């Protein structure tokens, strides 16, 4: 007769245990509309053609991807449309089994043909379609659909990043019939398999979606609907958050903005922080003297006090972590002990600056004057530019800080009409292949603003891409980093720090190092 | 009179054509492409072929004169072109946001007139007294204090004193007048202050001018009651230049909203214009400029006509 | 006929040189005060390096967002830069841009206006057509279009494209007024007599017409300096004018200055006051100038 008593005791203990752990174990409540801020508005709805979070914060709730990141255990990958998957031992074949009963918002059933059509659109965009991830899928040899719920991808060569690409938030799945009829349809029409259906988009004002009652994950989403309000000024966004008109902003704010919200909202605010998969780089135009001289480049990079500067900059801007080609703190990043040996990353700034002056003198560039090109965005480009001008003054170099709109900035970069520029890296995960694309030779690589061509870097890049063993891959990445920094064509200034504010009533949203992730809102609920 | 009107209407056309031509070529003086911004502005890996293909698709690789010819023919048909950023018709983009901006402009005008008439009149009647000085200082303040700063202070005061903010999403006045007005009254005040100042000054100075006119002095000398003198003779004649200013400044309001809408995060044509400048969306810039110019020219004509009708001394010679 | 500000419909005449300044100060006390403010600003702008206690570009992460104190009279901003010094140097930016663009715009406009009035006929028509086109834009709209059109070009640290952008809208407005003033002189008999006597065009313009347009020109010039300063502040606030790290009042109000309104309200108070004060002074001075020069108001 012990069992029932034990059972009762167990139940009581369980209840107390639940109460003790508090909100985490609370049952999600259905209902409510989440109103949040989106700080930019994209010109179209197609994530395949986009690189801005603005498209994802807008569109992700309407779509699903094949795989996705498990944000509670980042960077672990879990299935979204795929129920399960297997990778062949030779790593050349990826087989996915799809979930059953998945329907598009217009009622069409999802089959493997839709997956195939979607990936074909990305790797081989037809006329009039822009696919910004075409290069990432170059290794796919063929896509087969042996049955309506199985898709098989065959690769031409081993690709150590392939699984991450399948989990990318940009690779949303469209219906084959939609993109066959009109390949450019996703730019203006939304028909997805995601947790929310499209309600309206009032340009310049907001976007709204409501619960997809036929969502294939039973029980989700919890919310009745959502509304993304475009707040193009940071001040407007903060005011709205403080005033309770929006319940969160999912990109990221600066430390000073966080402090203001904390002091104004106190208990009502929740702040989540993480290091960010974004960075700013110093990029030299290696085709323009004197920046074709490695001594000049190295001198200018060594003059920057990253460790010291990050203290101050991290208080007023989103710049914080000192890191190399990979996000510091991620599995494949170079540990600090190794990093400080590379030029520009040493901790003794006095010695580094003395060395820098010496190098400049050697190169005959003691009275160096140049123009630093920068975007005119307040955060964190402006502080970065101001900081760099100040750092270079310390070694006697006079710099004119030129901030401009995106159009002239991009034009200058692409045409090579600049001396030195602040470049940026917008990544959605920690995959070194993605972050190191910038360092590949300029020929045929629009991401490399420094216009440098270096065969050794190209070779190391290719090797690490094809390397299956993690330790060997790490060594190759280190070697590439060492080569890139010693040559100094371009170098990260600092990596960013992500701070996301939400009202305490918003539950279930998951923080991650990238603002491009977790935008689908399926698991979010309101504790009201 | 009729001939004068027709003459002026006909003159409007070359003016607007001149505006279109000037803006078209001015914007294209320096190379710098919206296609690059759209495709590469967020750090994406887009090859040169894709950029070129997009440029071709948007028709931006054609020779400049061909683009100009198409544009002018489009204008003749009333087609303001397609926005280079969203690829929607310019007219559609503007129409979406016009209601909000017009409403703020009208509210600002109402506030301005309600305050300016008493202020200007009192200042003129009590010239060179402390009242006059006070009004002059208040009105010059309206001309001097940047509208965006005034708006900023307003918002932050509301937030810190009352922890209240105007609604962030626009609702038309016929749907929910309370929400609508509680959002738009503040920018209307910020913009209206300057408007009120200009109008009050104009009323003051034209009242002063009229009051020194012979017929007023005659009326006074005849002993007509002071108040009658003012209200019946002076004000009526002084209002005409004031109406001129109201008409002209109203057109400027649309341009003045440019800064104010930024501060209040309003989805109006002012913000649209600033965005189009930042993005180098030439078609949208052109379309908006032509629309604003057309509006201004029409208002100018109406005001001049009113001037000519009511004051026979200033009829066109 | 186009609308002119009635206050200058009658040509104002410049009084004799003797004791003009004293006369002015006595009659227009407000104007004298505003002139004093302008002089102070110009002094601060010209001798900024001597007047300002700190280098406006100097970053000091150790004391960011510090409240006003003996060390920093107006506090520091998010980079630890002394706000008082930035205000001082900001007056240089405001005055240089305001003055230059108003001068270029007003002078070119005046020249066009006089030419238009004197030569009349076809030349007048064409100039007026051109002026009409430029007048069809509100000031800030035209300035923004020029900003969109031209790249940022700096000559000796000054944003030349910004000066052009602000000068262009000023040109037609001055041209209109000056033309009207010159026209009213042209119909006077002594001009015809001078022509009949064989005086050259240039002589007639300079000896007879020009002096009568000087007064309206001066008045418009001061008024437009005020407008130009305000316009520069607005453009910098929008991020389309002067850029960091140059010290400029409008720029100091943009970016994240408003974010710190709770912990550091001095960030948005002082630059706004500076702009308002400068524009106020020029407006008041222009007002007083007009009152002084316009004979009808000499009661």
pLDDT tens, position by position, B160-210:
888 788 888 888 888 888 889 989 999 999 888 888 888 888 788 777 777
- Is residue C148 pLDDT above 90, yes or no? no
- Is residue C18 pLDDT above 60, yes or no? no
Are A498 and A513 contacting, i.e. CB atoms less than 8 angstroms apart? yes
- Give the integer Cα–Cα distance in Å for B303 and C159: 37
Give residue B316's pLDDT: 47
- Give the integer Cα–Cα distance in Å for C127 and C117: 10
For residues A40-60, one letter each, b for 16 or more C-beta atoms within 10 angstroms of the residue's C-beta and e for the rest, the string is: ebbbbbbbbbbbbbbbbbbbb
Q: Most distant CA pair in chain A: distance in Å?
A: 93
pLDDT band (50, 70, 90) for residue A436: very high
What is the DSSP track for A266-334? GGGEEEEEEEEEEEEEEEE-TTSTTTTSHHHHHHHHHT--HHHHHHHHHHHSSEEE---SS-TTSTTSP
The least confident of A20-29, B101-110, B245-254, C115-124 is A20-29
Of residues A180 and C263, the one with the higher pLDDT is: A180
Give residue A1's pLDDT: 45
- Is residue A481 pLDDT above 90, yes or no? yes
Going by their DSSP bridges, the two strands A225-230 and A33-38 should be labelled as parallel
| Average pLDDT score, chain A | 89
- Show the tokens assigned to A407: 């159009």
Of C124, C121, C122, C105, give the one whose Cα is nearest residue C113: C124
Enumerate residues 6+ apart whose C-beta is below 8 A from A499.
A252, A253, A254, A255, A257, A258, A271, A272, A273, A318
**Partner residues linked to A79 by β-bridges:** A67
Question: If you average pLDDT over residues B239-247, what whole number do you get?
Answer: 67
- The burial of A394, by beta-carbon neighbours within 10 Å (0-12 exposed, 13-18 middle, 19 or more buried), is given as middle
Give residue A175's pLDDT: 94
C22 touches chain B (CB under 8 A): no
DSSP C71: S
Other beta carbons within 10 Å of A443: 9
Q: Which residues of chain B make contact with A446, given a CB cutoff of 8 A?
A: 40, 45-48
Q: State the chains in contact with C (3 or more Cβ–Cβ pairs under 8 Å).
A: A, B
Nearest to B159 among A206, A227, A243 (CB): A243
Q: What is the CA radius of gyration of chain A?
A: 25
CA dihedral sign, ordered A191, A68, A500, A333:
negative
- Give the integer Cα–Cα distance in Å for B140 and B134: 10
Are C252 and C1 contacting, i.e. CB atoms less than 8 angstroms apart? no
- Show the tokens assigned to C129: 């057509």
Q: How far is CA A113 from CA A85, A189, A484, B20, C175, in A?
A: 17, 20, 43, 50, 69
- Give the integer Cα–Cα distance in Å for A101 and A214: 9
Of A365, A516, A495, A459, give the one whose Cα is nearest residue A47: A516
Give residue B128's pLDDT: 77
- Is residue A412 pLDDT above 50, yes or no? yes
| Half-sphere exposure for B42 (CA within 13 Å, toward CB) | 19
Give residue B218's pLDDT: 66
CB contact under 8 A, B36 and A135: no
B-contacting residues in C 197-256 (Cβ below 8 Å): 226, 230, 233-234, 237-240, 250, 253
Of A280, A276, A274, give the one whose Cα is nearest residue A306: A280
Give residue A11's pLDDT: 47
The least confident of A50-54, B46-50, B234-238 is B234-238
Domains parsed from chain C with CATH numbers:
81-297 (1.10.3720.10)
DSSP A379: T
Helices C160-186 and C210-237: angle between axes, nearest 10 degrees = 150
- Give the integer Cα–Cα distance in Å for A371 and B20: 35
A82-86, A315-319, C14-18: range with highest mean pLDDT: A82-86
Of residues A20 and A508, the one with the higher pLDDT is: A508
Enumerate residues 6+ apart whose C-beta is below 8 A from B229.
B216, B219, B220
- Show the tokens assigned to B10: 């006909």
pLDDT tens, position by position, B128-172:
788 888 888 888 888 888 888 988 888 888 888 887 888 888 888
Closest Cα in chain B to C278: B144
Q: How far apart are the first and last CA of chain B?
A: 11
Q: Which residues of chain A make contact with B165, given a CB cutoff of 8 A?
A: 239-240, 242-243, 245
Of C149, C161, C170, give the one whose Cα is nearest residue C226: C170
- Give the integer Cα–Cα distance in Å for C2 and C131: 12
Per residue, what are the HEC states of A52-114? CHHHHHHHHHHCCCCEEECHHHCCCEEECCEEEEEECCCCCEEEEEECCCCECCCCCECCHHH
CB contact under 8 A, A246 and B37: no
Give residue A397's pLDDT: 92
- Is residue A226 pLDDT above 90, yes or no? yes
- Is residue A63 pLDDT above 90, yes or no? yes
Closest Cα in chain A to B30: A408
B278 touches chain C (CB under 8 A): yes
- Is residue A3 pLDDT above 50, yes or no? no
- The burial of A502, by beta-carbon neighbours within 10 Å (0-12 exposed, 13-18 middle, 19 or more buried), is given as buried
Alpha helices in chain C (DSSP H): 20-27, 29-46, 48-51, 83-119, 121-135, 139-149, 160-186, 189-196, 201-204, 210-237, 249-253, 266-293
Query: Best interface-test mutation with A: which of B168, B271, B274, B279 has the largest number of A CBs within 10 A?
Result: B168
Q: How far apart are the first and last CA of chain A?
A: 42
Question: If you average pLDDT over residues B283-293, what whole number do you get?
Answer: 88
pLDDT band (50, 70, 90) for residue B223: low
Question: If you average pLDDT over residues A199-203, what whole number do you get?
Answer: 92
What is the DSSP track for C234-287? HHHHTTSSS-TTS--HHHHHSTTTGGGTTT-THHHHHHHHHHHHHHHHHHHHHH
DSSP A424: E
- Is residue C298 pLDDT above 60, yes or no? no
pLDDT > 90 fraction of chain A, expressed in percent and rounded: 62
Q: Is the peptide bond before A435 cis (omega within 30 degrees of 0)?
A: no
- Is residue A97 pLDDT above 50, yes or no? yes
- Give the integer Cα–Cα distance in Å for A421 and A259: 31
Q: What is the ipTM of this complex?
A: 0.80
A210 sits in which H/E element: strand A206-211
DSSP B162: I
pLDDT tens, position by position, A153-172:
999 988 888 998 999 999 99
B-contacting residues in C 108-137 (Cβ below 8 Å): 129-130, 132-133, 135-137
- Coil, helix or strand at residue B171: coil
Residue given tokens 């193009």 in the structure block:
A232
pLDDT > 70 fraction of chain C, expressed in percent and rounded: 81
C30 touches chain B (CB under 8 A): yes
CB contact under 8 A, C138 and B255: yes
CB contact under 8 A, A376 and C152: no
CB contact under 8 A, A446 and B86: no
Q: What angle do CA B276, C238, C95 make, to 5 degrees?
A: 130
B-contacting residues in A 414-453 (Cβ below 8 Å): 414, 424-426, 437, 444, 446-447
Closest Cα in chain B to C273: B145
Rounded to 5 degrees, what are φ and ψ at A110?
Answer: -80, 130
CB contact under 8 A, A400 and C154: yes
Give residue C145's pLDDT: 82
Query: Best interface-test mutation with C: which of A312, A407, A494 has the largest number of C CBs within 10 A?
Result: A312
A398 touches chain C (CB under 8 A): no
- Is residue C11 pLDDT above 60, yes or no? no
- Give the integer Cα–Cα distance in Å for A311 and A16: 43
Q: What is the CA radius of gyration of chain B?
A: 24
**Partner residues linked to C116 by β-bridges:** none
Enumerate residues 6+ apart whose C-beta is below 8 A from B170.
A205, B100, B180, B183, B266, B267
pLDDT tens, position by position, A252-265:
998 888 988 998 88
CB contact under 8 A, C79 and A385: no
pLDDT band (50, 70, 90) for residue A42: confident
Q: Which residues of chain C make contact with B317, given a CB cutoff of 8 A?
A: 1
- Is residue B53 pLDDT above 90, yes or no? no
Of residues C193 and C97, the one with the higher pLDDT is: C97
Helices B90-125 and B269-279: angle between axes, nearest 10 degrees = 120
- Is residue A7 pLDDT above 50, yes or no? no
């Amino acid at each position: 007769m012990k069992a029932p008593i034990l059972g009762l005791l167990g139940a009581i203990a369980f209840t107390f245990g639940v109460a003790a752990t508090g909100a985490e174990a609370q049952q999600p409540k259905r209902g409510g509309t989440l109103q949040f801020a989106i700080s930019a508005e994209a010109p179209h709805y197609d994530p395949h053609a986009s690189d801005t979070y603005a498209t994802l914060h807008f569109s992700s709730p309407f779509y699903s991807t094949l795989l996705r990141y498990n944000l509670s255990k980042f960077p672990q990958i879990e299935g979204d449309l795929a129920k399960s998957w297997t990778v062949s031992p030779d790593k050349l074949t990826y087989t996915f089994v799809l979930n059953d009963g998945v329907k598009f918002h217009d009622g069409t059933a999802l089959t493997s043909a839709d997956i195939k059509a979607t990936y074909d659109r990305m790797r081989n965009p037809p006329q009039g379609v822009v696919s910004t991830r075409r290069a990432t899928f170059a290794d796919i040899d063929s896509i087969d659909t042996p049955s309506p719920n199985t898709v098989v991808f065959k690769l031409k060569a081993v690709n150590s990043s392939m699984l991450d690409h399948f989990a990318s938030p940009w690779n949303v799945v469209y219906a084959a019939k939609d993109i066959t009829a009109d390949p450019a349809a996703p730019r203006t029409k939304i028909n997805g398999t995601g947790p929310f259906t499209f309600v309206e988009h009032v340009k310049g004002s907001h976007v709204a979606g409501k619960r997809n009652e036929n969502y294939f994950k039973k029980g989700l989403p919890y919310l009745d609907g959502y509304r993304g309000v475009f707040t193009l000024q940071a001040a407007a966004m903060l005011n709205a958050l403080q005033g309770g008109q929006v319940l969160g902003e999912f990109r990221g704010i600066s430390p000073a903005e966080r402090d203001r919200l904390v002091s104004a909202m106190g208990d009502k605010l929740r702040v989540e922080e993480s290091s960010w998969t974004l960075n700013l780089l110093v990029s030299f135009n290696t085709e323009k003297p004197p920046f074709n001289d490695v001594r000049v480049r190295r001198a200018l990079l060594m003059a920057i006090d990253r460790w010291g500067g990050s203290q101050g900059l991290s208080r007023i801007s989103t710049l914080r972590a000192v890191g190399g080609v990979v996000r510091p703190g991620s599995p494949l990043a170079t540990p600090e002990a190794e990093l400080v040996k590379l030029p520009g990353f040493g901790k003794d700034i006095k010695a580094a600056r003395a060395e820098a002056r010496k190098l400049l003198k050697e190169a005959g560039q003691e009275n160096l004057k140049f123009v630093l090109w920068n975007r005119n965005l307040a955060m964190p480009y402006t502080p970065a530019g101001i900081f760099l001008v100040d750092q270079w003054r310390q070694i006697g170099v006079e710099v004119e800080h030129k901030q401009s709109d995106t159009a002239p900035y991009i034009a200058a970069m692409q045409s090579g009409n600049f001396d030195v520029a602040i470049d940026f890296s917008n990544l959605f995960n920690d995959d070194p292949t993605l972050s190191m694309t910038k360092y590949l030779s300029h020929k045929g690589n629009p991401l490399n603003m420094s216009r440098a061509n270096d065969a050794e870097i190209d070779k190391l890049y290719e090797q690490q891409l094809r390397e299956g063993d993690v330790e060997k891959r790490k060594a190759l990445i280190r070697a590439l980093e060492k080569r890139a920094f010693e040559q100094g064509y371009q170098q990260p200034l600092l990596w960013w720090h992500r701070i996301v504010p939400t009202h305490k009533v918003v539950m279930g949203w998951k923080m991650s190092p990238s603002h491009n992730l977790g935008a689908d809102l399926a698991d979010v609920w309101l504790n009201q | 009179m009729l001939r004068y009107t027709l003459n002026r209407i006909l003159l409007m056309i070359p003016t607007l054509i001149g505006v279109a031509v000037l803006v078209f070529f001015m914007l294209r003086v320096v190379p710098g492409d919206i296609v690059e911004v759209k495709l590469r502005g967020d750090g994406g890996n887009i090859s040169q072929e894709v950029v070129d293909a997009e440029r071709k698709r948007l028709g931006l690789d054609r020779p400049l004169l061909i683009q100009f010819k198409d544009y002018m023919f489009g204008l003749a048909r009333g087609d303001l072109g397609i926005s280079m950023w969203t690829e929607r018709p310019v007219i559609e983009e503007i129409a979406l946001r016009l209601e909000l901006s017009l409403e703020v402009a009208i509210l600002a005008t109402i506030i301005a007139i309600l305050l300016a008439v008493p202020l200007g009149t009192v200042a003129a009647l009590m010239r060179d007294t402390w009242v006059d000085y006070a009004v002059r200082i208040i009105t010059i303040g309206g001309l001097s204090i940047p509208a965006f700063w005034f708006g900023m202070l307003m918002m932050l005061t509301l937030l810190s004193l009352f922890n209240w903010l105007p609604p962030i999403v626009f609702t038309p006045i016929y749907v929910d007048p309370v929400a609508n007005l509680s959002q738009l009254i503040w920018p209307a005040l910020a913009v209206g202050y300057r408007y009120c100042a200009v109008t009050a000054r104009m009323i003051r100075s034209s009242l002063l001018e009229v009051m020194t006119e012979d017929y007023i002095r005659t009326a006074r000398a005849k002993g007509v009651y002071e108040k009658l003198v003012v209200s019946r003779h002076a004000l009526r004649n002084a209002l005409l230049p004031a109406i001129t200013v109201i008409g002209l400044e109203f057109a400027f309001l649309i341009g003045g909203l440019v800064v104010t809408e930024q501060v209040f995060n309003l989805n109006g044509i002012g913000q649209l214009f600033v965005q189009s400048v930042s993005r180098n969306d030439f078609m949208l810039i052109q379309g908006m400029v032509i629309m604003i110019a057309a509006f201004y020219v029409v208002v100018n004509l109406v005001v001049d006509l009113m001037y000519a009708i009511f004051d026979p001394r200033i009829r066109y010679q | 006929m186009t609308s002119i500000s009635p206050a200058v419909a009658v040509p104002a005449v410049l009084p004799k040189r003797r004791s003009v300044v004293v006369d002015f100060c006595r009659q227009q006390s407000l104007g004298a005060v505003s002139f004093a403010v302008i002089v102070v600003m110009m002094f601060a702008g010209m001798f900024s390096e001597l007047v300002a206690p700190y280098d406006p570009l100097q970053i000091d992460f150790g004391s960011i967002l510090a409240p006003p104190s003996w060390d920093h009279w107006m506090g520091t901003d998010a980079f630890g830069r002394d706000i008082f010094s930035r205000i001082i140097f900001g007056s240089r930016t405001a005055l240089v841009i305001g003055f230059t663009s108003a001068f270029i715009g007003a002078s070119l406009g005046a020249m066009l206006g006089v030419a238009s009035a004197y030569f009349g006929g076809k030349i007048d028509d064409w100039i007026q057509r051109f002026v009409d086109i430029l007048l069809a834009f509100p000031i800030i709209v035209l300035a923004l279009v020029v900003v969109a059109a031209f790249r940022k070009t700096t000559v000796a640290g000054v944003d030349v494209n910004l000066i052009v952008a602000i000068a262009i809208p000023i040109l037609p407005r001055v041209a209109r007024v000056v033309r009207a003033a010159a026209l009213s002189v042209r119909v006077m008999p002594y001009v015809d007599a001078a022509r009949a006597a064989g005086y050259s065009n240039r002589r007639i313009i300079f000896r007879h017409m020009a002096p009568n347009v000087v007064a309206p020109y001066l008045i418009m010039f001061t008024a437009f300096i005020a407008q130009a300063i305000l316009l520069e502040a607005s453009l910098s606030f929008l991020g389309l004018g002067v850029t960091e790290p140059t010290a400029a009042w409008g720029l100091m109000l943009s970016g994240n200055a408003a974010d710190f309104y709770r912990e550091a309200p001095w960030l948005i108070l002082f630059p706004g006051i500076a702009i308002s004060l400068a524009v106020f002074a020029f407006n008041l001075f222009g007002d007083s100038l007009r009152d002084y020069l316009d004979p009808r108001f000499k009661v």
